[in-house]
Every structure is written in C-alpha cells, then in structure tokens.
Chains A and B, each alone.
Chain A
Amino acid sequence: MTVDRVAGVALGALALFVLVESRKLPLGTLHNPGPAYMPVVLALTMLGFAAALVAFGGRAPHVATVGWRDWRHTAAILGAGAFAALALERLGFRLTVALLLLVLVGVVERRHPLTAVAYAVAMALGTFFLFNTILRVPLPRGPFGL
C-alpha cells in the first residue's frame, strides 16, 4: 500500500463520517442552503480527492519505507502534553510545568536528576514570572496558590 492510497482511504473515511454526521442538521436546498449544505459539499469534494488519491497513488512511495523510529519521543511528547492538558487547571501552571519538564528531561532524556530538577523548577518559575507577572497573561494557579 502506498502513502497516497493510505491517505486516500483515511480522508475518504473522514468524508463519509462528515456526511453521516451532517444528516443531523438541516441541509436546505440548492437555492437556499442550510447549515449542513457546506459541510456536505466539502465532504463530497473530499471524497472525490480521496478517490483520486487512491486511483492515481500507485506510484507514490510504499508506506513501509516511511521511518517511524522516533515514535518513542513522539509518544512521550504527546503524553506530556496530555498530562499538561489534564493537570493545568487542577494543579496550577507552575506545578504542572515542573512535573512535565522533570519527566521529559529526567526520564525521557535521562539527564542527571539534579540537572532535571534544577531545570524543571527554574523553567516553571521563570516562565510563570515572565508571562503571568511581567506580560500579565493570566496563568492558572493550583492548590496553595501554586
């Protein structure tokens, strides 16, 4: 399977999903379009492009030739981001960022624990001071005002 064909199948599936979901909204008419009109037109266009990608994508590189060796880092970055999204308003900015950096620098990048702690604390406090105090961008505080 080539990359174009994989992408064509995925985009086609997305277009079908949009078509199904658009049935919950009024379509209107050709002369007086409703809220579902544009999504349906776009989904049908996408379906056409997806079919063309599958049809003409035979000469594209094979999907097995794509290197995914960096997936561990990708998973770690996504995991850290997901943790931040969950913790930001519960633990507050400083605690969340300190924990996030501690894991990324200390565990994922295997830096010396002291380096990781110093880096995490300095960055968490420094960015909070820069954005919240100097630039007046309100950042969430957690328990004990942290």
Chain B
Amino acid sequence: MLETFANLAHGFAVALSPGVLLYAFLGCLVGTLVGVLPGVGPLAGISLLLPATFGLDATRAIVMLAGIYYGAMYGGSTTSILMRIPGEAASVMTCIDGYAMARKGRAGAALAIAAVGSYIAGTASVVALMFLAPPLAHFALRFGPPEYFALLVLGLLVLAYMSTGSMLRALAMAVLGLLLGMVGIDQMSGFFRFAYGVVELGDGIGVVPVAVGLFGLSEIMLTAGAAVPQEVIKPRLRELLPSRREWREAWWPIWRGTWLGFLIGIIPGSAHIISSFVSYAVERKLSRHPEEFGKGAVAGVAGPESANNSATSGAFVPMLALGVPSGPIPAVMLAAMMVHGVSPGPLLIRQQPDLFWGFIASMYVGNVVLLILNLPLVGLFVNVLRIPYPLLYPAILTFSIIGVYAVNNSVVDVWIMLATGLLGYVLRKLDFETAPIVLGLVLAPMLELSLRQSLAMSDGHYAIFVTRPISAVLLGAALVLVLLGLRPLISRGLDWRARLALAEKGEPS
C-alpha cells in the first residue's frame, strides 16, 4: 500500500511537470473536440492523431493519447444532450434522458451532471486501476505461451459474446480480423504471406489504417449522404448549476455507474458501450419512478455517463498489466505504445515506472482538466456542431489521409484505409459489428506465436493447453461462453444481446 502511494507520488512528479501537463491538456482539448464531432469517435480520433505524437517522448505521447481517449468520452455526451446525436456509441443512452432534460430547459444541468459524474467515475476508477494493475501484472509473470494463447482465445470469445447482435456474426468478424493479421512476414519462418510483392505489407496490415477505415471513413460515408441540419440547443452558463433535487437524484446513480462501469471495463468487449446500457437498465430497475425514464430522468444521464467513463479506465487494466487489449480502443492504444517503443505487459511497471505511474497520475490530472474544460467551454464546443457537414467531412477525410499516411510515410496504408472504409460501410449497412475485426488484427500475431511456441515447448503435444492449470481454467471459461452463445440458437428466443441491439436502434424488444 505504502509502496503504491510512493509510486503514485513519483507519478505525480512526472505528470505535473509542465511539459507533460501541457500535453495532457492538449489531449483532453482535442479529445473533447473529437468526441463532439459526429463521425470521429475515440478510436478514429486516436488513430488520426497518432502521427502528431511522433515528435514526443513516450510518456508525453501516451499521456496525450490517453487524454484524447477520455476527452472523447466526455465530449460524446455534449452532442447527445444538446442534439440527440451520440458523438460516439457509448453516449447512445445519454441521448434519451439527456436530450429530454434539454428540451425541458435543463440542458445546462444535464451537462453539469454528466461532467461531474464522469469526473467522479474517472477518478474513482483510476484509484481502482492503480491498485489492481500491479498485482495482476505480478500474477501474469507466471504466464507462458500456453496461458497467453488461452487468454487470447478467451478474450476473443468474450468480445464476441459481449457484442450486440449475433455472437456468430461477431465471431466471423473476429476471424476476418485474424485472417487480415496473417498478412506479412511469418515471425518464425520468415516466409512472406499473402503480400503479393507489396514490400510495405512485409510488416503486416497496420492497425491504424484499418481502424481509421472501419470507424472513421465508413462513418463519414454513412453520414455524408444523409446530412440533415440538426437543431442545436445552446445552454447559458448560469443554467449550468443543477438544483439540489437533481444532485440528490444523481448521487447514487453516479457511484453505481462508476463501479459497474469499471468491472465491465475489465472484461474484453466494447465495454464502454455495454456499461452505459447496463447502467441505464439498472437505474431504471432501481428507480422509484421508472416512468420518468425517457422523459428526462436525472439518473438516466448520471448512471450511463459515469459508467462509460469508468469503463475507459477499466479497459486499461488488462492492457497495462497483461499486454492484452480488451477491445478495439485499447488495441489501438497498444499499437500506439509500440510505435513509441513501449511494450505493455507484466514487465512494464517494473521496467518503466516513470511511464506507468506518470500515466496513472496523468489520468487524475486529465479528469480535473476535463471538468474545468468541459463546463465553461461548452458553448465553444457547441459551435463546432454548427459547421455544415458538407464542409466538415472533407476536412475529416483530409485528417484521415494525413493520419494514415504519416505513420509509415506510405500510400499503401492510404489504400488499405480506403479498402477497409468500403468494407466497414458495407458491413455496417448489413448490421455487422466491425470492432472484432480490429481486435482480431491486433491479436493475430500474438495468438499464432503463442500457439507455435506452446507446441515447440510440448514437443507438439496439444495436451499442454489443458494440463497447465491457468490455461485449462481459461479455456474452460471459453467453452462455457461458446455454450452460452449457442443457447439462443436452441431456444430461438431473444437473448440479452439481441435486446441490446434493438435498444441501440431504438426499437422495442
């Protein structure tokens, strides 16, 4: 315990140095803008802005990218409340009651509750991250290739199980991502696979062009054709203070959302999206006035907003401690860390304490920065939404091209972005989730290497995966998930994923 606080003090010394603080502030500011803009979610935002961090040292770069991540999570709530447009998917639930509050003239109060709830959730979940990640990393030192293989298989299955809609579709998309990850030089034999003479594909298909294509480009393709001017409710600064009754109604949902979000965040999957749905359902169930939900219930804003911000920190636990991303956003963060020569995993905390504890401390600082930034500047951010989309999307396309090209100075990456953009557009039209593709792409090399190393260790005997206790338990859990996933095929009823998918579309289940 004392050691943790000593490390944290060291982290604050790093995070509060003017250079790092400036980049935390910049990250939060840009992230909020990214979250406010429809069509640029946190994933595309981090990918696009990765080249902007190339000139920085690893600590500043990671602090800035993390600032973009949670800034985008905050910013997403602004458009949800003021326009009924979720800036990113996790803010879908905030649209319902947040916009209803805005229509009643309580837009400022809704924004303040969302910001304070996010601040409390963000801060509390960083405390949990701080205490959970080091022991988990210590435990993970026992992991060898068979355990990593089992963990990665479990991670992919959990992601598929936690996806909205059909598990079968999600698994097919994860395998598509794994297949894309097979392109390039085979790490063990040096053979070129599926490169067709394109030298740039030797290092494999990059996660940045795929993420920007699937999430950024496909979004502007879907939105540009359907651009309809939206009414923007502009709150006044003096309306930002919620009433005493509103604070009372928000208090417990904020704390429930915080813990729920953190726990869901650790589990692989689109945690920040699922956590906001679960929190909304829990609040409605616990409320004495469930009939108010959908008509401007304060708990309907406080719970989901806290949950999705808390899940953001939760998602960093497996990434920092195990080096295994739990979803597409941590996967891109992991890729970004690798670009800067940082390898997250059990040894990170021991080998690079400056970076780890500086990062943790910067999350505390970032939450304060966001609280200070979001409320007074809400009017400024809202003005961004007044830019007509026909002028906005060409600019987003330009940033996409810069972001993707600059990672490797390669036009091949721009072509990959265009191809995956078209793929994402078609898949989203057909209602397929694209997040498992990104995770599959990132995990493919790790999965293949751990499988082949395990077989080399066991002299080719597959029993190694079930005779080692940790890997046997992880694979057992994976099997349980497969069986749970098969249940709706047998019962032919709507399971929770199908109901969630209907809720996302605004249809009754």
Chain A, residues 39-72, CB within 8 Å of chain B (1/0): the string is 1001101100110110010000101001111111
The interface residues of chain A lying within 8 Å CB-to-CB of B422 are 74, 78
A131 at the interface (CB under 8 A from B): yes
In B204-244, which residues have CB < 8 Å from any A CB?
A: 217, 220-222, 224-226
> Does the CB pair A72–B179 fall under 8 Å?
no
Q: Give residues 74-97 of A contacting B (CB, 8 Å).
A: 74, 77-78, 80-82, 84-86, 88-89, 93, 97
Residues of chain A within 8 A (CB-CB) of B414 are 81, 84-85, 88
Chain A CB within 8 A of B397 CB = yes
Contact A46 to B175, CB < 8 A, known contacts A7-B430, A25-B193, A53-B169? yes
Interface of B is mostly: helix
Q: How many chain A residues touch B (Cβ–Cβ < 8 Å)?
A: 69
B429 and A136 within 8 A (CB): no
State whether B455 touches A33 (Cβ < 8 A).
yes
Tell me the B379-416 residues at the A interface (CB within 8 Å): 390-391, 393-395, 397-399, 401-402, 405-406, 409, 411, 414-415
B286, CB-defined interface residue at 8 Å: no
In the complex, A114 has a CB within 8 A of chain B: no
A6 at the interface (CB under 8 A from B): yes
Question: How far in angstroms is the closest Cβ of chain A from B477?
Answer: 19
Are A70's CB and B224's CB within 8 A? Answer: yes
A37 vs B388: C-alpha distance in the bound complex, in angstroms?
51
Cβ of B451 and Cβ of A38 under 8 Å apart?
yes
Contact partner of B168 (CB less than 8 A), chosen from A26, A43, A56, is: A56
Contacting residue for A77 out of B395, B397, B460, CB 8 A: B397
From 396 to 449 in chain B, residues with beta carbon under 8 angstroms from any chain A beta carbon are 397-399, 401-402, 405-406, 409, 411, 414-415, 417-418, 421-422, 425, 429-432, 447-448
CB of A146 within 8 Å of the partner chain: no
* Contacts of A105-146 to chain B: CB distance below 8 A: 105, 109, 111, 119, 123, 127, 131, 135-140
Does the CB pair A84–B401 fall under 8 Å?
A: yes
Chain B residue at minimal CB-CB distance from A10: B426
| Known contacts A32-B455, A68-B429, A88-B401: A46-B179 contact under CB 8 Å | yes
Interfacial residues, chain A to chain B (CB-CB below 8 A): 3-4, 6-7, 11, 14, 18, 21, 25-26, 29-39, 42-43, 45-46, 49-50, 52-53, 56, 61, 63, 66-74, 77-78, 80-82, 84-86, 88-89, 93, 97, 100-101, 104-105, 109, 111, 119, 123, 127, 131, 135-140
